[in-house]
Amino acid sequence: MSMATMRNGVDLDRLVGTVEAIQSDPHLAQFQFRGSSRWEGGGRCVTEIISFYGAGAEQQHRRTHLMAGDEPDVLLGSDSGPNAVEAVLAALASCLAVGFAYNAAARGIDVESLSFDLEGDLDLHAFLGLSDRQRPGFDKIRVSYSLESAADRQVLDELEEHVLHTSPVLDILRNPVPVTITRAG
């Protein structure tokens, strides 16, 4: 592949090929992501991600991904990994970064740098069983980002609007998603 087909670290030939394949066979857009988690004691849990379904077939990651989660000391954990709500913030930043980089590449925009700062406000009263009026999750999430590019302001505004409209993780956070939880055995 020539360097001319790469922009922002994105292989434009593969990106265009993916879009064209899904346009010709919409079933290729259906994906199922999954993981298996095991509790290791205290606040620590490790999630293993090995495979997923997508592009019409079972897919294997190049390697098994392990994501450790824990709680900070002040929340009785051993602080061996981010806690679950911190992982949500990381997932949002990661999704937005991909959205900006890929969509900028598709629009011919070179991104020189991209960074995110995220904050989520959470009140522990519900989690600790001290209130049934307080929600247990984030009350509010704030994201600030910096994108450096030679593109003009209007082009970057249109890019931002598109990314915020199409981000899967942002959509998951903004809109209720049906969740089914069952106990095995």
Give the pLDDT confidence of 119-167 residue by residue, as tens digits.
999 999 999 999 999 999 999 999 999 999 999 999 999 999 999 999 9
pLDDT at 185: 84
Looking at every residue in the chain, the average pLDDT score rounds to: 95
In angstroms, the CA 34 to CA 49 distance is: 7
Contact in structure between 78 and 69 (CB atoms under 8 Å): no
Three-state DSSP state, 64: strand
What's the average model confidence in pLDDT over 90-94?
A: 98
Decide: 118 and 92 in contact? Cβ < 8 Å.
Answer: yes
Q: Which amino acid is present at 152?
A: D
Residue 3 has pLDDT above 90, yes or no: no
pLDDT recorded at residue 4: 56
pLDDT above 70 as % of the chain? 98
d(CA 104, CA 100): 6
Q: What is the pLDDT of residue 1?
A: 44
Q: What is the mean pLDDT of residues 44-71?
A: 96
